[in-house]
Amino acid sequence: MGVVKYPANTQITEHFNSNEFRCPHCGVTRISTELVNKLEALMKKVHASKCIISSGYRCPYYDKQQNGFAGRHSEGLAVDCCFYDKNCKIIPSKVMCCVAYDMGFTGVAYIDKNYLHLDIRKNGTYYGDESRGNSSYWTDPYAYFHVSREEVEKYTGKTETDDLYQSHGLKRKWYPNVKFGDGDYAGVFGVTMDGLYVDKYKYRARVNGRWLPEVVGRSDYAGILGYAITDVAISGNVKYRVHVKNQKRWLPWVDGKDYNINDYYNGYAGNGSIIDAIEIKRY
């Protein structure tokens, strides 16, 4: 675990100096380098501007004096801390509990609305709520603290997943999957498209002048194999465009927020002509 006795005023990582972790009673700093690196990673994860350590190392004598027992702080494996966002506002500790839990800290405890306890104990786990005493535990921080994924993403940013889409060529096959927004498209120019899969989103296709029922994600594909697709509508935070086979050109990008099969101008992609390719990207 690399617990090191650091000299005073030693820069350990970009944001942390040994002084921040020292025992207030004797001035000694014994702290795990792994813990400090993990705190640094946690700061990056939430785009924090600053982390205040209110308690780091506590020598066994001092820890016992404070708590009645020598715990993880006396082993150099724990900190009590508070994080600030880009605008120097405190990130709620309940949010930090969720992020720290997801990052694999084995000790995470809520102290108050600003501060939390973090440690990297190797035997067992400790997920607590010290505002309710030392024997208050939780298993799922999101449920326990009523924190939504969106609330966490305000600090971490959207967690990118690889959403994919895939087209089928008339009398051919399913072409390879394409990632949203990587500059590629699904389909082969000159080959009529007759099927389309899009991960996660709601979408539908028009065949023979008729809109087929809406499909969601990979529960089904849009289209009828053997029949040309002329128009596509996709709903959600995406932009997409289709390529018209005979005109050999891309039609303008359409916004998934405007999803409406009755709106010829903005609601879907296509002009009633056979398409051979589609491109989808995120906002």
Min. distance of Cβ 30 from Zn ion in angstroms? 10
Closest to Zn ion by CB, 81 or 242: 81
Residue 119: strand pairing partners? 78, 107
Region at 242 (left for phi over 0; alpha for psi -120 to 50; beta for the rest) = beta
Closest to Zn ion by CB, 62 or 201: 62
Min. distance of Cβ 108 from Zn ion in angstroms? 10
Q: How far is CA 152 from CA 47, 200, 223, in A?
A: 12, 21, 38
Cα 269 from chain centre: 30
In whole angstroms, give the CA distance from residue 218 to residue 202: 10
Min. distance of Cβ 82 from Zn ion in angstroms? 12
In whole angstroms, give the CA distance from residue 170 to residue 141: 49
- Which among 219, 240, 239, 229 has a CA at the least distance from the CA of 275? 229
Closest to Zn ion by CB, 114 or 156: 114
Closest to Zn ion by CB, 23 or 232: 23
Give the interface with Zn ion as residue ranges (CB under 5 A): 23, 25-26, 59, 62, 78, 80, 117
Min. distance of Cβ 104 from Zn ion in angstroms? 18
Backbone phi and psi for residue 91, each to the nearest 5 degrees, phi listed first: -80, 125
Min. distance of Cβ 63 from Zn ion in angstroms? 8
Q: How many CA atoms lie within 13 A of 32 on its CB side?
A: 19
Closest to Zn ion by CB, 37 or 66: 66
